[in-house]
Amino acid sequence: MRLALRFVIPLAIALGAMAYVVVPLVDELTLRWFVRDLDIRSKLVASAVQEPLVELLTDKVRDKVRLQRTQAFFTRILRDERLFAAGFCDANGVSVYRATTLPADVVCGPASGPHEEWSRVIQHPSGPLHVASSPIVSDGQRFGELLIVHDMSFIERRSADTKKYLVYLFAAIGGVIALITVIIAELSWRGWMSGIKALIRGQSLALPADPKVRELRPIAQDLERMVRELEAERRMRDESQISWAPESLRRILREDLNGDEIMIVSNREPYIHVRREGGIEVRRPASGLVTALEPVMRACSGTWIAHGSGDADRDTVDAHDRVAVPPENPAYRIRRVWLGKEEEAGYYYGFANEGLWPLCHIAHTRPVFRASDWEHYRAVNRRFAQAVVDESRTDNPIVLVQDYHFALLPRMIRERLPRATIITFWHIPWPNPEAFGVCPWRNELLDGLLGSSILGFHTQFHCNNFLDTVDRTLEARVDRESSSIHYGGDPTEVRRYPISIEWPPEALAGQAPVAECRAEVRRQLGLGPHVMLGVGVDRLDYTKGILERFAAIERLFELEPDWVGRFAFLQVAAPSRGSIEEYQSLDARVRAAAQRINARFGAPGYEPIALRIEHHDAQRVYACYRAADLCFVSSLHDGMNLVAKEYVAAHDDERGVLILSQFTGAARELSEALIVNPYDTEQCAAALRLALAMPPDEQRERMRSMRSLIQEFNVYRWAGRMLLDAARMRNRRRVAGSREAPRVVGLRRA
């Protein structure tokens, strides 16, 4: 019924508007037609009465007798039901006869003027009247002027009937059109719905000759993806929880992926075994990638293939280089790949971190590309591809390739396992085509990445940059509408997957209340309870903007000396890539900047910048987060930056202020943070001042909104969306395979 009304109501409105316009036009045309008919009728009456009237006027009788005969003549004429009145004027303009019904304003014309036929419509209390004047002429002699008045009331009656018939006509036409339209629409809608349902079920997609499929093909891909995502999310979401949880991922693996095998490949391992005096210690590395992916693997129970970099890693693996983790409650296993010092120097420190890292971050550090580094990069990627093949129990695993260390790996896996579903996630930014064109092996890197089934980035901006780069570099078909690239084999879908953190964070479980964390951290730093504390947690990397952060703090003290002694900043910087010259230089400059600011503004018992260049485990980092009044993330360029989300998650008291660089992916999500340009020292100093003076109510509103977003869009949702896309692709491949089987049989029979 609603569908029918969608057609009938607009049609009724349109026909009503047409009738509103057409009826007055028809009324006017009808009046013109009748006036013209009355003009002709008046002429006919005048022509008919002219001869007998002339005989009366020329009859040689007394004037009184002539007048009586003339009046009797006109009385007979007026017996016509349509004649309202009549009159006659002689040649001198004197009224010889005038019917009693003749309107007073209808008079004889002047005797000296031209005597031509005329007619007009006048308004009378009884209704409109048609008045016509015709000269009476015989043998060239003019005898006078005949006035004939017709009653036009019958025209009004006929006009009203015409309007009524027009309304009935439009109503009938509208009813017929509406009926036909509804029937056709209903039949078409049923056909479209059956076609769409078939597409969603994966039917008829391989039958291009089907006209129904041809009509629906432009929307089939988007519609199928949308319906599958919505239905899967609804089914996978735990009804008792607001956000995604580990059980959601397990349910996807069980129901959508039928328990298919999951493997993660990354350079960094989630657990490192190192030797200490008391024995072997297990360490969690300071890495955003590990922070995000480790909870996912605990939920999925797969295999994590990584470089074994710990000095005690070989002592803890079995004969197949595997170790079960986490140590306290094993949920998955690590397969370690061993690299020599020269390989690690060329592949990791050389091509990956002296070449690709500065190239993609555009942090004004010149990338360095060496042919020897490239050879090691290719060799290590081949080594990891072989490890994937060795660890795969089937020929169609789901492989999650992580980051810029393995740009060649997807193609290498595809060559060995053609049926594998390969999801590559690029954790750092993707530059514009001009910047990426600097790389001497750009074509090989793009070819390797396009071996992926799905290629993910943090933001749509980075997706667009990648599409532009492929479009300008390779002979590939880039479909921007579906965000996919066709290059050789199966298409590669380019998708946006904003990464996040575990909710609630595991490290938050054993934390002391916020008040205790504040007191303890201040005691460790030698600060009084009245001193406000800011925190920064980063790897010691030139892309993190640590020097720019220190410059903003220094500028704050210059502009508002009252904050000296009342504000301190704790900078936790994990050592990173110390063998690279640029990182060695950064270490020295960061230390020198902190010393200079402390010497300028410090005092006994007060250190404005507490620089801690050392590894902190998750428990210590979260204690620092909870103790801090603000967190300053000043990355010069970043993929997402999970420190910002960790700080927000740590503040279950809904207090604290986040200052966030506009060049992080997180800035597109955490809009309630104070967004700054880290290159603008004045703006950053102003943001620090605003954060330190922000009222508790405003802090609570901002923090509550950001916490709600992170809770909803947590790391399980990030991983779940990728796995759901993988399930969709695998299901489509299975349907296509089952469709082709009968065709092969048919060909053999033929």
Kindly state whether residues 656 and 636 are assigned to the same domain: yes
3-state secondary structure of 303: strand
| 44-76: burial string, b at 16+ Cβ within 10 Å, e else | ebbeebbeebbebbeeeeeeeebeeebeebbee
Kindly state whether residues 558 and 655 are assigned to the same domain: yes
Amino acid at 542: Y
Kindly state whether residues 728 and 707 are assigned to the same domain: no
- What does pTM read for this prediction? 0.68
**Token duo for residue 328:** 């306290």
Q: Say if 445 falls within a structural domain.
A: yes
CA–CA dist 689, 684 (Å, integer): 9
CA–CA dist 266, 293 (Å, integer): 10
| pLDDT given for residue 89 in this prediction | 84
3-state secondary structure of 393: coil
| pLDDT given for residue 55 in this prediction | 77
Kindly state whether residues 550 and 679 are assigned to the same domain: yes
| pLDDT given for residue 218 in this prediction | 56
Cβ atoms 213, 207 nearer than 8 A: yes
Residue 397: half-sphere exposure toward Cβ, Cα within 13 Å: 24
DSSP string, 241-260: -SS--HHHHHHIIIIISTT-
Domain that residue 582 falls in: 514-713
CA–CA dist 480, 494 (Å, integer): 9
Kindly state whether residues 241 and 274 are assigned to the same domain: no
Per-residue model confidence as pLDDT tens digits over 158-213: 777 777 777 777 777 777 777 777 777 777 666 666 666 665 555 444 444 455 44
Which of 578, 591, 581, 577 has the alpha carbon at shortest distance from 547?
Answer: 591
Q: Say if 377 falls within a structural domain.
A: no
| pLDDT given for residue 209 in this prediction | 46
Q: Say if 571 falls within a structural domain.
A: yes
| pLDDT given for residue 286 in this prediction | 65
| pLDDT given for residue 13 in this prediction | 79
| pLDDT given for residue 204 in this prediction | 44
Split into its structural domains, the chain has a count of: 4
Which of 439, 424, 293, 464 has the alpha carbon at shortest distance from 360?
Answer: 439
Kindly state whether residues 522 and 663 are assigned to the same domain: yes
| pLDDT given for residue 400 in this prediction | 96
Q: Say if 197 falls within a structural domain.
A: no
Q: Looking at residue 614, which CATH number applies to its domain?
A: 3.40.50.2000
| pLDDT given for residue 81 in this prediction | 61
Chunk the chain into consecutive blocks of 10 residues (it has 750) and report each block's average pLDDT, rounded to whole numbers: 64 74 76 81 82 76 72 76 79 78 78 70 81 82 83 75 74 76 72 63 47 54 58 49 72 81 93 89 78 83 93 94 92 95 96 96 91 98 97 93 97 96 96 96 98 96 97 95 90 95 89 96 95 97 96 98 97 91 94 98 96 92 97 96 96 97 96 97 98 97 96 91 90 69 38
| pLDDT given for residue 304 in this prediction | 96
Kindly state whether residues 147 and 71 are assigned to the same domain: yes
CA–CA dist 674, 696 (Å, integer): 15
| pLDDT given for residue 417 in this prediction | 96
Q: Say if 640 falls within a structural domain.
A: yes
Cβ atoms 212, 191 nearer than 8 A: yes
Rg (the chain; Cα; Å):
46
Which of 133, 363, 229 has the alpha carbon at shortest distance from 726?
Answer: 229
